[in-house]
Amino acid sequence: MNRAFVFQKDGYTRTEGELLLNETLFHNANGYFGVRGNFEEGYPPGQATVRGQYVNGFYNFSEMKQPEKHYGFPEQKQTMVNSFDTQTMVLTVEGERVDLFQGEVLEFSRVLDMKKGITIRRFVWESPKGRQVEVCITRMASFEMLPLFTIEYQVTPLNFSGKAWMESVHSGDVSNYFNPKDSRVAGEKITHLRVAEREMTEDGFSLIRSKTLKSGLEIASVTAHLLSEEYTAKSQVGEKEIVQFFEFPLREKVPVTVTKYTVTCDSIRYLDVKGTAADLMRKSLGRPLDYWYQCQEDYLDKFWENAEIEIIGDEELNLSLHYNLYQLLQSVGKDEYCNIGAKGLSGEGYEGHYFWDTEMYIVPFFSLAWPETAKNLLSYRYQILDRARANARVMGYLKGALYPWRTINGDECSGYYPSGSAQYHINGDISYAAVQYYLITGDWDFMVSKGAEILLETARMWYDLGNFYQGSFQLHDLTGPDEYSCVVNNNYYTNLTAKHNLEWAAKIYRRLKAQGQLEDLERRIGIEEEEILGFEEAAEKMLLLYDEVLDINPQDDSFLSKKEWDFSQEAKGNGPIMQWNHLYRLYRYQVCKQADTVLAHMIFEDAQKVSTMKNSFDYYEKRTTHDSSLSRCIFGIMASKLGEKKKAYEYFDFSSKLDILNSQHNTKDGIHTANMGGTYMGIVYGFLGFRVKETGFYFMPSLPEQWERCRLRLQLLGSRLEITVTGTECMFRLIEGTPVRLFVYGREYEVEKELTVPLEEW
């Protein structure tokens, strides 16, 4: 086993912060559901925990109170629901409950094995009366059968023989985490589910079916148990939970295993949640657990074959990179009914909502390494296109679609519109991601069936929104990526993404028309040639701000006239500055939460001169707090582009280890999925200098001095390339597929088998 695929923590601590952090770091997920890494035996009363099991895209409505009601302000939101608890397994040996908060913990470790797709919690515990047991608990969220979750609980008595009792709980009495002091999680306790049905079936399964109180969705969970030893069993069915008891003998130094299976089905994907869950449980039990373990390993072999990145010279970094990519795989939805939340399925930060993070930070990784998943993510946006059309009407547009800033089912969940709903750039982000996916994969069928409609409907919104004034097309009163500068005119990033959106909507329309593939789309949305001419004119005349004196692109038309922020003021805690400053105060200063214009330069590097990008980078770097986890990775990529190697590596090193080191002090609420995607981009778009343009694939590789070698794989137009960068050269090797045409340092090559290019300085 390559150590870089094993994330391990040794030693036991009872501190609240460490327990919450490890619940996130060692969670299990497969894109359909996620389970926090809670202790099966639970914690003492009063001990902080976020005990959760979640299904991607499964939500309830909750009230979003507006102190002053105005037309179009959303008054309800969707929240990812903590659906049930099947984690609880309490072991008692000879009358003593195994409890890590009592007795003595002699050994303790937690392991995430990213080759096998499992987590392992192992400990040796000595009871107050001196009995010693070794417990090894293996968990798996199956990639082969997405509804399946297993807990293999093995106990070995080390210095005694006797009797053991296992109490296994299946509870529908669950609630979501809340913290009224943190805007990134729910602010109050809300009941989302009611148990509609619970029973012990003839098969010996426990079954609970619950219904959301407002969204009308159903979810069923079924559990079953297998024991390696003879046992006696009984069950107790309560109003909201089912408890099963197993009694079995223990013999000194002989292990006994209790395996708990959970199958989950929700009504978004299944018509008969109860019947389907029971059928899938029978299918699960019809194979030995080792079969599912092998399926898990086989799935991951294929994933790593495409996605693995190997860094020679920094083992800790290698581990953090594999951790980040594995978490993206765990978090990302595997069908068009869901997406990927800002915290994946590891916690309740941002209530499970989907943001622009997906398109700008995560779709690039999957487009290059696992294209079918990228297609699912974009298909979700197509799935909610009608709701985006409805949102556009609410916001005052007669045509087109406006995607919500944060959502699960397609309706807007943003309660504070200046830094939420006003971020119209999400339309440009989604269209940009769709075009990038198409250019990387060549998937014209997707563009015909879904992508073109997304591009045209989002372009319609821009055209309706904008205004021709003094020879330019302008966009007013919007918010760019920087959430410390809200409701401004002509945000450079927003205008540039809108220009791209309008241009590509026209290009795709004309190609569809030329190929005789436009008729169906014309019938569905009524698009006309006159509109396309309008798109092209608006794109051509789009106002892109430029300051000749500073040779920078102003973030918006008021940013340079604002007061400078005093960065010497003492921080009040570890969190973002908005936690001790009124937001309206921040809006009046030159202070940025995250990359904004710098992000525009990264994705549209040909839209301005290199000197302008360099001066802009220097200007905004001094004014950016990086309070968002989406920021440093982008600054790192642009530092690499501009030859600032030391800065590039410092930014990259911080972002790559953000969750493992809990650098932003909030990983307890869930992983930072966008930053994880940004870390991948830091290597591919940063150190490899990779860009996807209409004219082809471009590379400007360099190697950080801290590394001996970097190796990774990319899929381009259906062909798979392995790319290796050393201190002196970059080697491209065609693994499978047809030859790939690409540009290195601006010179064109074709990779038929192998290509070696000497590294250059720039």
User: For residues 517 and 575, which has the higher predicted lDDT (pLDDT)?
Assistant: 517
Position 148 pLDDT exceeds 80:
yes
Burial letters 403-434, b for 16+ CB under 10 A, else e? bbbbbbbbbbbbbebbbbbbbbbbbbbbbbbb
Position 18 pLDDT exceeds 60:
yes
Angle at 379 between CA 274 and CA 461, to 5 degrees: 125
Query: Which pTM value belongs to this model?
Result: 0.97
Question: Any alpha helices (H) in 515-642, and if so which ranges?
Answer: 519-525, 529-540, 583-587, 597-603, 610-621, 632-641
User: pLDDT tens, 328-353?
Assistant: 999 999 999 999 999 999 999 999 99
Position 184 pLDDT exceeds 70:
no
CATH topology of domain 3-303: Beta-galactosidase; Chain A, domain 5 (2.70.98)
Record the tokens describing residue 714, joined without a space. Answer: 């990319």
Distance CA 364, CA 673 (A): 13
Minimum mean pLDDT among 30-39, 69-78, 378-387, 605-614: which range? 69-78
Tokens 């406006």 correspond to: 402
- What confidence score (pLDDT) does residue 101 get? 95
Q: Which residues pair with 460 in a beta bridge?
A: none
- Picking from 145, 425, 154, the residue whose alpha carbon sits closest to that of residue 298 is 145
Residue 436's pLDDT band (cuts 50, 70, 90) = very high
- What confidence score (pLDDT) does residue 434 get? 98
- What confidence score (pLDDT) does residue 52 get? 96
Tokens 């990784």 correspond to: 365
- What confidence score (pLDDT) does residue 575 get? 77
The residue-averaged pLDDT of 494-514 equals 98
Q: How far is CA 301 from CA 304, 326, 373, in A?
A: 5, 12, 16
Position 189 pLDDT exceeds 80:
no
Position 354 pLDDT exceeds 70:
yes
Position 483 pLDDT exceeds 80:
yes
- What confidence score (pLDDT) does residue 16 get? 87
- What confidence score (pLDDT) does residue 46 get? 87
- What confidence score (pLDDT) does residue 627 get? 95
> Side chain identity at 655, as an amino acid letter?
S
Catalytic positions: 483
What count of Cα atoms within 13 Å lies in the side-chain half-sphere of residue 147?
A: 24
The residue-averaged pLDDT of 160-165 equals 98
- What confidence score (pLDDT) does residue 559 get? 98
- Picking from 584, 659, 594, 656, the residue whose alpha carbon sits closest to that of residue 625 is 594
The residue-averaged pLDDT of 192-217 equals 97
CB atoms within 10 A of CB 305: 12
User: pLDDT tens, 466-477?
Assistant: 999 999 999 999
Q: What is the mean pLDDT of the chain?
A: 96
The residue-averaged pLDDT of 625-639 equals 97
Residue 1's pLDDT band (cuts 50, 70, 90) = very low
Residue 191's pLDDT band (cuts 50, 70, 90) = confident
* Cβ neighbours of residue 318 closer than 8 Å, sequence gap 6 or more: 4, 309, 310, 311
- Picking from 148, 71, 157, the residue whose alpha carbon sits closest to that of residue 117 is 148
- Picking from 703, 708, 711, the residue whose alpha carbon sits closest to that of residue 687 is 703
CATH topology of domain 370-625: Glycosyltransferase (1.50.10)
Residue 187's pLDDT band (cuts 50, 70, 90) = low
By DSSP bridging, strand 563-564 and strand 589-590 are parallel
Position 178 pLDDT exceeds 80:
no
Domains of the chain, residue spans = 3-303, 370-625
- What confidence score (pLDDT) does residue 573 get? 66
